[in-house]
Amino acid sequence: MDGGEVAAGAGAAWGDGPPPDTPAEAEREPVDLGPLVDELRAAIGAERVITHAHQLRTYESDGLLQYAVTPGAVVLPGSTEDVVATVRACHRAGVPFVARGAGSGLSGGALPVADGVLISLSQMRSIIEVDLDNQRVITEPGVTNIEISKAVGPDHFYPPDPSSQIVCSIGGNVAENSGGAHCFKYGFTTNYVTGLELVLPDGELVQIGGKELDPPGLDVLGAFVGSEGTLGIATKIWLRIVPKPESVRTLVAFFGSTVEAGEVVTEIVSAGMVPGAIEMMDNLSIRAAEGATNAGYPEDAGAALVVELDGSEAECEARFDQVVSICENAGADSVRVAQDEAERELIWRTRKAAFAAMGRIAPNYYVQDSVIPRTRLAEVLGRIDDLGREYDMQVANVFHAGDGNLHPLVCYDAAKEGEAERAEECAGMIVKACVDVGGSITGEHGVGVDKKRYMPDQFTDADLGTFQRLRCAFDPDGRANPGKVMPTPRLCGEVPGPYRRHPLEQAGVAERF
Amino acid sequence: MEAQASGVSTPSTVEDLAEELRRSDDAGQTVRVRGAGSKLTWAGEAGGAVEISTAGLDGVLEHNPGDLTAVLGAGVPLARAQEVFAEADQMLALDPPGADATIGGVVAAADSGPLRARYGGVRDLVIGVRVALADGTVAKSGGQVIKNVAGYDLAKLFAGSFGTLGAITEISVRLHPAAPQTVTALGHAGDPAVLARGAQALSHARLEQLGLDVRWAAGRGSVLSRSGGATAQAQAEAAERLLGEAGLDTEIRERDNGLWEAQRERQRSPGGLVAKVSALPIDLPELLRTAERHGATLVGRHALGLFWLRLDDGSPGELISELRGRYVTAVLDRPDGFELERDAGLEPGAELLMTRIKQRFDPKGTLV
């Protein structure tokens, strides 16, 4: 869920002024990028370096249009060597850089820095190797998510499937640890990355892992995936792929309320099933989506529940009948089973239309991405209803019900004075309600600039300080995607004491990994 | 906080443990963090270090059956946690060898068993950690929800770190429904190429196997494919057909727990050598021949390319140098007195990066 879904509702909610909580880095003394630009042009080719104002504006926002900053320069590297040359030059000049994939992210993670360089990886779009025997793919970062599954079909697929998969890039997926509708069963990007070639913020090139699992030493892959561009740039990515399931069955069931549908989710999971996907839409989302796809969904339904099972044909059939009876016994108004691929596709298209179709309800919306323990669903939905009333806002709900990842859409009209601010405040209260029940501020969109202000709700100062230690190990000067993730800018101190080898390696025991 | 006769200290709260770490750090005293001690030989020498045990942090702090999550103190024996989860027909899908291991030790060593083929390893199942750093800082990463991208994923960084970045004190995990009735299809062969063909057929099969392992000992090996669920028998028969088509002698085993228990046991050797090899599925025939030449046994997760070679008697040095010449090889168990030439297989850039991480988390080098 992500970029593909945002376009319609976003809009410059905060007008032309600076976005709220402007990164402190943007306030530093203006830097003359001229010499750096000259150096870059000489190093990687003039055509790969953009400085024209109108061209720069193309890159001023990612998928979250509420934030816009024009970068000082944009670089379009065509190779790892170009990225190394660019980052090295930035490092020498003391200029910050921001990496950007397809620009479909929903948290402002690729928001440029005004006096910095934006490095767009969109030209590095080759799949380097497809190794079906070993079920691995090696790719450049600019390749789109869907291209990987296409390259390994029809017998294999790449499971993480963010809704923006036709545009979003694998490099962006690595930065954000993207999930998708099927991650309840199949996991996230981090579960599929077996190797990375990284350009560190000082321009050093390192390779961690490769085709094999469990590379020696610390799990740097695990730390890097999901680090939102703050630890460096991945220039080559090794991925694991898996055989396609033999069978897929999909249904949509309609219920009087989201609470009823939520109970069905719990029942399905308690019966020992791990569905490929369980998605829920509330009444407002159903109405919006129905307007877009004419799927014939009842517009008075309180909730639509999409359940998809996949696996071996025999097991899928047996379990699917069980899901149908659970829905019926729980009082579903109707249960619609997809009879063929076209009907299945319509169910998914309608589900994925919910975001974009929200334009039918209100001119703008503000989307949140919080996660809650699934058993607290009824309580949190009640709280969201209360908040909607309190702020006089319509809040639609679309969510990944299996893993408790909510996407409340706070609907508003930016043309009305004060509505955008009220929507943002309402959305913030929803995030806090989710953290209060033990949840997270973001399940898949990332922290970026948009949610960093909520980080202290979820993490203590000690937690944040510990995150910063990792950041400082990679980027002591704070030049990789500054102003993202951490709520307030922090500096890295010097490491005390002389250089020492990691004790695992000093003792020579790292080979046990 | 109590000191045991052995000199191992066993704090009973996270705060006490953190305070003890801080005092050692201040005093320049090196520390080794330990759980049950079942894998201490994997962790090289720690001469001069004091030991702090997590055994006192032994509470099952939360089990949320409806959310399929739990929070465990690092010192909880994995077996005890599994008993708690089993009451709700759930499991933590980690089945490394060893009856005594604590969850903290399993996470710190990133150990795993046959369930990894289906459910992933430690890094895939841990959703949050609380850690105590050398300077006494207590911090968490992740949380108690299965989907969460807020902040850095330090849980993965600490998994497999052997306590060298900080002491893992609490662990949040994702649970799964307990494996239902299971049936295993077996294919046997004496020719490494035939065995590998069978394994490859099942790695690429569009079946949902609960386990896919290989084993080899004394000139003969097997492929094991485990199915579960309402139609376990039918799925196992489908797997058996594929093995038969690949030229293996096949059978179906309904009481299959012993088979898989044996796979786990062959990942350890009480007095011998165990080397874990990170390879690829197509490397299997070559690895089988290597094992055969050296008189070693082999078990592994074929589709993942992870294999454990075990040598109870013989010359471990020759086996290790041959393996290291071709694969990333981690030496786990080793015979007493076996001297190992140090070679982590890290390239210099990766090594430097890991050193920088260590310096930021434990600048004085207290944790060994």
CA distance A398 to chain B (A): 16
Report residue B351 as tokens: 């090594």
Q: In terms of Cα–Cα distance, which of A290, A303, A209, A206 is closest to A260?
A: A303
For residues B14 and A424, give the distance between their C-alpha atoms in angstroms, rounded to a whole number.
38
**pLDDT above 70 for A27:** no
Dump pLDDT digits (tens) for A173-193.
Answer: 999 999 988 999 999 999 999
Dump pLDDT digits (tens) for A336-362.
Answer: 999 999 999 999 999 988 888 888 889
Position A513 scores a pLDDT of: 28
**pLDDT above 80 for A126:** yes
Q: Output b/e per residue, A421-437; b: 16+ Cβ within 10 A.
A: ebbbebbbbbbbbbbeb
Q: pLDDT > 70: what percent of chain B?
A: 98
In this complex, do A451 and B150 lie within 8 Å of one another by their Cβ atoms?
yes
The shortest CB-CB distance from B148 to any of A225, A371, A455 is to A371
Q: Starting at the edge strand that comes first in sequence, how are the strands of the sheet with B297-301 ordered?
A: B249-253, B182-189, B220-228, B211-217, B297-301, B306-311, B273-278, B328-331
**pLDDT above 70 for A78:** yes
Residues facing A97 on adjacent strands: A117, A480
Is B355's Cβ below 8 Å from some Cβ in A? yes
Find the closest chain A residue to B32 by CA distance: A503
The shortest CB-CB distance from B66 to any of A179, A375, A497 is to A375
- DSSP alpha helix (H) spans, A74-182: 80-93, 145-152, 170-176
All residues of chain B having their beta carbon less than 8 Å from the beta carbon of residue A245 are 206, 208
- Read off the pLDDT of each residue in A383-394 and give the average, rounded to a whole number: 95
For residues B299 and B214, give the distance between their C-alpha atoms in angstroms, rounded to a whole number.
6
Dihedral (CA of B336, B341, B345, B347) sign: positive
Cβ contacts below 8 Å, chain A against chain B, sum to 332
Total-model pTM: 0.94
Q: Work out the end-to-end distance of chain B between its first and last CA atoms, rounded to an integer number of angstroms.
A: 21
For residues B1 and B7, give the distance between their C-alpha atoms in angstroms, rounded to a whole number.
12
In this complex, do A508 and B344 lie within 8 Å of one another by their Cβ atoms?
yes
Peptide bond into A154 cis (omega under 30): yes
Considering only CA atoms, give the Rg of chain B. Answer: 21
Q: Are A326 and A315 in contact (CB under 8 A)?
A: no
**If DSSP codes are grouped into helix, strand and coil, which group holds residue B162?**
coil
| Neighbour count for residue A325 (Cβ, 10 Å) | 11
**pLDDT above 70 for B38:** yes
Find the closest chain A residue to B360 by CA distance: A469
CA distances from A88 to A81, A84, A91, B13 (A): 10, 6, 5, 47
Report residue A506 as tokens: 């000093």
Residues facing B328 on adjacent strands: B278
Measure the CA angle with vertex B213, ends B209 and B215; round to 5°.
Answer: 155
Contacts of B326 (CB under 8 A, 6+ apart): B283, B286
Taking only residues 99 to 158 of chain B, the set having a beta carbon closer than 8 angstroms to any beta carbon of chain A reads 110, 120-121, 123-124, 131, 133, 137-141, 143-157
- Parallel, antiparallel, or unpaired: how do β-strands B211-217 and B220-228 relate? antiparallel
| Interface with chain A: mutation pick from B115, B145, B283, highest number of A CBs within 10 Å | B145
- Read off the pLDDT of each residue in B110-124 and give the average, rounded to a whole number: 97
**pLDDT above 60 for B357:** yes
Dump pLDDT digits (tens) for B188-240.
Answer: 999 999 999 999 999 999 999 999 999 999 999 999 999 998 899 999 999 99
Report residue B71 as tokens: 């929070």
Find the closest chain B residue to A448 by CA distance: B150
Separation of CA A408 from chain center = 16
Provide the pLDDT confidence category of residue A502 given band limits of 50, 70 and 90.
low
Return the higher-pLDDT residue of B340 and B272: B272
- Read off the pLDDT of each residue in A420-426 and give the average, rounded to a whole number: 93
Provide the pLDDT confidence category of residue A89 given band limits of 50, 70 and 90.
very high
Find the closest chain B residue to A465 by CA distance: B139
Report residue A228 as tokens: 């939102």
Position A30 scores a pLDDT of: 58
Q: In terms of Cα–Cα distance, which of A49, A50, A51 is closest to A40?
A: A49
Considering only CA atoms, give the Rg of chain A. Answer: 23
Which of A46-50, A295-299, B38-42 is predicted least confidently?
Answer: B38-42
The shortest CB-CB distance from A212 to any of B43, B147, B278 is to B278
- Read off the pLDDT of each residue in A293-302 and give the average, rounded to a whole number: 95
Q: Are A192 and A160 in contact (CB under 8 A)?
A: yes
Q: pLDDT > 90: what percent of chain A?
A: 83
Residues facing B167 on adjacent strands: B132
Contacts of B136 (CB under 8 A, 6+ apart): B18, B19, B21, B22, B25
Position A16 scores a pLDDT of: 34
In this complex, do A215 and B144 lie within 8 Å of one another by their Cβ atoms?
no
Measure the CA angle with vertex B228, ends B62 and A190; round to 5°.
Answer: 55
Find the closest chain A residue to B368 by CA distance: A503
In this complex, do A404 and B350 lie within 8 Å of one another by their Cβ atoms?
no
DSSP per-residue codes, B231-291: THHHHHHHHHHHHHHTT-EEEEESS-HHHHHHHHHTT--SSSEEEEEE--GGGHHHHHHHH
| Neighbour count for residue B343 (Cβ, 10 Å) | 15
Domains of chain B: 1-178 (3.30.465.10), 182-255 (3.30.70.1710)
Dihedral (CA of A293, A298, A303, A308) sign: negative
In this complex, do B66 and A270 lie within 8 Å of one another by their Cβ atoms?
yes
- DSSP alpha helix (H) spans, B246-283: 257-265
CA distances from A308 to A1, A319, A322, B114 (A): 17, 11, 12, 27
CA distance A455 to chain B (A): 8
All residues of chain A having their beta carbon less than 8 Å from the beta carbon of residue B203 are 135, 243
Taking only residues 234 to 293 of chain B, the set having a beta carbon closer than 8 angstroms to any beta carbon of chain A reads 234-235, 238, 276, 278-282
Residues facing A308 on adjacent strands: A250, A277
Q: Output b/e per residue, A471-492; b: 16+ Cβ within 10 A.
A: bbbbbbebbbbbbbbbbeeeeb
